[in-house]
Amino acid sequence: METNTTTEVLDLVQAWAAAELAGDVDAYGPLFADDFQGIGPVGFVLDKDRWAQRHLGDVVNEEFEILEPHVRYYGDTALVEAIQRQKTMARGKDASASFRVLVVLVRQGEGWVIANVQLSGPLIGPGESAPWLKEKRGE
């Protein structure tokens, strides 16, 4: 795809990151498709309104950034794979971490909207154990 298209796509992803950082519930309206779905790092699925409403007390971001984005196109669909790094409090607990993120954008009219966000992680270093893994107890 042409550079202008990639610039549009990445600008939209950065606008989403800015809305996340600011906790700007109203900013999601023009950024997200009406049938948007977001999948959080532990598997919850939220629609457009519920994704935005996380910021009404449950989620507070001190830092939120999208790093190392890589864009691929399939017709009028763009996939942006990246790392999402956040310094965040969620429900009064520290939820700061880095995640793999896939942002799916679709062309709508003359522009783009975000149809899906899916997180996986948090990212862990080589040799580290995932926090949800438990030691097997002896029989």
For residue 47, give the nearest of 58, 59, 32, 62 by alpha carbon.
32
> Where are the domains positioned within the chain?
3-120
Beta carbons within 10 angstroms of residue 128's beta carbon: 8
Q: For residues 76 and 57, give the distance between their C-alpha atoms in angstroms, rounded to a whole number.
A: 36
pLDDT for the residue numbered 42: 82
* Residue among 103, 125, 120 at smallest CA distance from 112: 103
Distance of CA 29 to the CA centre of its chain: 16
* pTM: predicted TM-score of the whole model, two decimal places: 0.87
pLDDT for 80 beyond 70: yes
pLDDT given for residue 126 in this prediction: 78
Question: Left, alpha or beta for 68 (phi > 0: left; psi -120 to 50: alpha)?
Answer: left
| CATH fit for domain 3-120, picks 3.40.50.1820, 3.40.1190.10, 3.90.550.10, 3.10.450.50 | 3.10.450.50
Does pLDDT of 10 surpass 90? yes
Per-residue pLDDT band at 2 (split at 50, 70, 90): low
Q: Are 117 and 38 in contact (CB under 8 A)?
A: yes
Cα–Cα distance, 138 to 111 (Å, whole number):
58
Q: Which of 65, 53, 57 is nearest to 26 (CA)?
A: 53
Interval 84-104: pLDDT, tens: 999 999 888 898 999 999 999
